[in-house]
Amino acid sequence: MKKVTTLFVGALTLLATLAQAQDCPTTATLTAPLSGAKVVEQASKHLTAANLVQSGEVAYRAGQSVTLTAGFEVKPGAVFEATIAPCKAVDLEHKSWGDNVFALGSYPNPFAQNTLIEYTIPDASTVSVSIIDLRGVTISRLLINQEQSEGTHRLTFESDSLPEGVYICTLTTPNGRKTHKIIKQK
């Protein structure tokens, strides 16, 4: 009976591996622009990207390498993640950066002097909040690795000396990262 059970479990493992391999190509090359969607692209070995991520939440996963080539770009406000990991089924609704689990926003937006930044974290964790300009320069660090409880938190960003323009508010925790576009007007 033990040999039959072992053989049965081995056959199920092989079938699961084959099913996964059919859903996940060996290599993938991505060139089409992505906008306003939650997307996970996967390859069992190599994934190469030369595309534009205009908005939305995009994750690339490959077993051996993820290569970002000339032409690859992530626009401000879009969320991008690349990992070296085996292909797997992905539940986009329960990813840590999902709007219902890990949220970031501001009011008013656009703003003239101050804006209230509000964020929600699902668990107690270390939190950092920064404001970055479109060149990638950090303008302000509102929180640096501060331990916070789960739930909704608020910060006021005072920007009296800041020129008008578009900025990115970035919330970072050990569980993920979220960005939000803010606009300063006079």
Q: pLDDT at position 84, please?
A: 86
Between CA 135 and CA 125 the distance in angstroms is: 29
**8 A C-beta contact, residue 42 and residue 87:** yes
Q: Dihedral angle at the C-alpha atoms of 42, 44, 48, 53, nearest 10 degrees?
A: 10
Q: What is the per-residue pLDDT for 23? A: 52
- For 32-83, the pLDDT digits (tens) are 676 655 677 787 888 888 878 877 777 888 889 989 988 888 888 888 888 8
pLDDT tens for each residue of the chain, 186 residues long: 444 433 333 333 333 333 333 356 777 777 767 665 567 778 788 888 887 887 777 788 888 998 998 888 888 888 888 888 887 654 434 344 444 356 788 888 888 888 888 888 888 889 999 998 888 888 888 998 899 888 888 888 888 888 999 998 988 888 778 888 999 998
In this prediction, residue 122 carries a pLDDT of 81
From CA 151, how far away is CA 48, in angstroms rounded? 38
- Cα gap 26→39, rounded to integer Å: 18
List of domains in the chain: 22-94 (no CATH), 103-184 (2.60.40.1930)
- In the predicted model, what is the mean pLDDT of the chain? 75
